[in-house]
Amino acid sequence: MTEDKKKEIIEGVVKEAVDAQIRFDTCAWSTLYGLSTYFKFIPQEMVAASRALSGGVASSGCSCGALCSGALALGAKYYPTVEEDLNDAPDAPQKRDLAFSKIFRLRDAFMAEYGSLLCSGVQKCIYGRSFNLLDDKERDEFLNLPGHEEQCAKVVATAVRLTAELLLEDE
């Protein structure tokens, strides 16, 4: 695959993810949805289930939902299947090593960008402070910040771009 084709794919999945984030304001879902528009190995059930990761896992401010969804996509592509693990497939260790390597690279690149892997840390990087999304008043303040949709969409775009680059580097 040419570098121009990879760039075209990345731009397409980022656009889908950003549009979804602006529309639905759910970072984890938007990340996996955008990736799933090209990477067909991502099941729609996994996209649906990823909503639970938004806001740092159930709005708790913990691990960034966009980052978690990127890691899920890499895991779906590179980890051995359950059957391969249970049956001690000879190539399972190599598959695990490759998956870990890619997920660690995603983690490190995301950390370099935002200085944190946590939703609350990403918020602090972007807004200068974090918000307790479990508190109605703070959640409303966060959701009503000027440019909130666009700022969260930038985080989704970063996670999608980094993940898609890792997925496409072997093609």
| DSSP secondary structure, 3-23, as one string | HHHHHHHHHHHHHHHHHHHHH
What is the SS3 assignment for 24?
A: helix
Q: Give the pLDDT of residue 171.
A: 84
> How far from 77 is each of 88, 119, 135, 138, CA to CA, in Å?
18, 25, 36, 37
Helices (H) and strands (E) in the chain, counts: 9, 0
Domain boundaries, the chain: 3-168
Q: Give the pLDDT of residue 140.
A: 95
Q: Give the pLDDT of residue 170.
A: 85
* DSSP-assigned letter for residue 137: H
| Calpha distance 27→18 (Å, rounded) | 9
* DSSP-assigned letter for residue 128: S
Which residues of the chain fall short of a pLDDT of 50? Answer: none
- Specify the pTM: 0.96
**What single-letter amino acid sits at 70?**
G
Which tokens in the block code for residue 92? 């399972």
Q: Give the pLDDT of residue 166.
A: 98
Q: Give the pLDDT of residue 133.
A: 93
Which tokens in the block code for residue 40? 């067909």
| Calpha distance 166→69 (Å, rounded) | 14
